[in-house]
Amino acid sequence: MSESSTQNLQDQWLLILDFGSQYTQLIARRVRESGVYCEIQPFDVSEDYFSERVPNGVILSGGPETVTEGNTPRIPDEIFELGVPVLGICYGMQALASQLGGEVESSDRREFGHAKIKMENESELMSTLDLASDAEAQVWMSHGDKVVRLPEGFSVTVSTDSAPIAAMEDASKNIFAVQFHPEVTHTPNGEKLIGRFAKDICGCDGEWTIENIAEDAIERIREQVGEDEVVLGLSGGVDSSVVAAILSRAIGDQLTCLFVDNGLLRKDETEEVERAFGVKSGTGNVLPITIKTVNTQKEFLEKLEGIEDPEHKRKIIGNTFIEVFEREADKLSNVKWLAQGTIYPDVIESAASKYGKAHVIKSHHNVGGLPERMSLKLVEPLRELFKDEVRNLGIHLGLPRSLIYRHPFPGPGLGVRILGEVKSEYAAVLREADAIFIEELRKADLYDSVSQAFAVYLPVKSVGVVGDARRYEHVIALRAVETVDFMTARSARLPYDFIDTVSNRIMNEISKVSRVVYDISSKPPSTIEWE
């Protein structure tokens, strides 16, 4: 792809202004699924942001605040000056109404959950929806405040039993708003509605496809790297494997992959990665790449000695990775770049914290930012992609489905699945328990029905009974979740008999475990990881 066509892939795009909704990333995923590129920025985005690029349209997200109170987020004036279509969702609709001369009130009659919308007037936004169909009329509501008076020039387009103004628009000004959430899967017509806004109303062509993304990424890498060599930390997970694939396509033998055995990997992880890429067998090599395995178990474990704080552990592990990369890269002749599998949710989290609008849930890429002294420059081919886009790209590049849909395993590995201090003997026990859990999931044909499953080592002991003897050993927790986006999740509804089988195997085969528990917490309020 030429430089001009590279630019064109993101030349048509939508801006999503984030007012703090937990669903904001889901809006972005819906837009991307319609074939349109988009970016998320905080609601108080700098004026400078629009100096070089003007979006084709703007979507205003939901949020936890209320416009009826003072000092709550407002839509920047610059948005109305851009002259592009605007779509407000939930809080975005209320903010539009309030700022354009309408009125919003808090209500005792809240509306959370499923609702059915009915057409009140003609709608440019909803002209492709068949609201006579019960399925298409179903939406997901999550609000307490309501628009009670329209701004001048607006009309009510749909209503519900408890929200007379469930959507509004002024088509002459290209401003549209819905009280419901079209971005969630609970709104069956949501994908169609957002696609209508992105392509028909905003005029985007829908060029954001996996084929174009791959071509674009290859061209960008070649332009960025030139003749330099690149080093990549290959974990065997989805992100690093896809980065390896795209770099291999782009620059061939200029790429060297380092596989770091930090002592915190799953059982037989090194062998699995080497086998997946044909390192040992010499056959079935998916990618023509050089892989160098580095054993650094002692180094990592020594640095983690005595450390219990989870964020501190993440940063130690992440920064030690960087140190290892630097050290190993120095042994290569022309390495100037470090490749990372940073994906868009990582970028959003990091950017948001800079503005003080978000709590840091996880340090950027598990590292806490890259040290300024680092001698290598960064190349991040997946930086603009969501996880589902990364998987689709991997399939497009020819990676095996078993690798692409493997349960994600965090960069810090077992380090964040051992609560408290990390010790080699704890890791050894956890590694075996984890392997039993995964093995039984595959045997029971349950592996693909859960999004992520793993064992956790708890720093508490419990009495167990072995024959006529008693033993006082540690507790293992089993965690399995069902999720689409990894932002929200619920505990997997695994059969009791299955959990019983796994529990008995762990306690019978691992002498250092006296009890097994099953984690039933959902995200939120819990997290998927334990630390």
The label of the residue with tokens 């859990």 reads 437
Task: Fill in the amino acid letter for 350.
Answer: S
315 Cβ contact list (under 8 Å, min separation 6): 363, 367, 368
Sign, Cα dihedral of 439, 421, 320, 361? positive
Dihedral of CA atoms 77, 79, 80, 86 in degrees, nearest 10, equals -140
Query: How far apart, in whole angstroms, are the C-alpha atoms of residue 31 and residue 56?
Result: 12
Query: How far apart, in whole angstroms, are the C-alpha atoms of residue 94 and residue 97?
Result: 5
CB neighbourhood size of 494 (10 A): 20
Strand 103-116 relative to strand 290-295: parallel, antiparallel, unpaired? unpaired
Tokens found for residue 505: 């195997």
Answer yes or no: 186 catalytic: no
**Which is catalytic among the residues 90, 202, 204, 257?**
90
**Which is catalytic among the residues 181, 365, 407, 474?**
181
SS3 199: helix
Please state whether the peptide bond connecting residue 524 to the residue before it is cis, i.e. omega within 30 degrees of 0. yes
CB neighbourhood size of 463 (10 A): 10
**Which is catalytic among the residues 136, 183, 380, 440?**
183
Strand 37-42 relative to strand 167-170: parallel, antiparallel, unpaired? unpaired
Query: How far apart, in whole angstroms, are the C-alpha atoms of residue 82 and residue 58?
Result: 9
Residues 63, 90 contacting (CB under 8 angstroms): yes
Answer yes or no: 90 catalytic: yes
Sign, Cα dihedral of 140, 144, 150, 151? negative
Query: How far apart, in whole angstroms, are the C-alpha atoms of residue 433 and residue 436?
Result: 5
Tokens found for residue 325: 């990369």
Q: Any idea which residues carry the catalytic annotation? A: 90, 181, 183
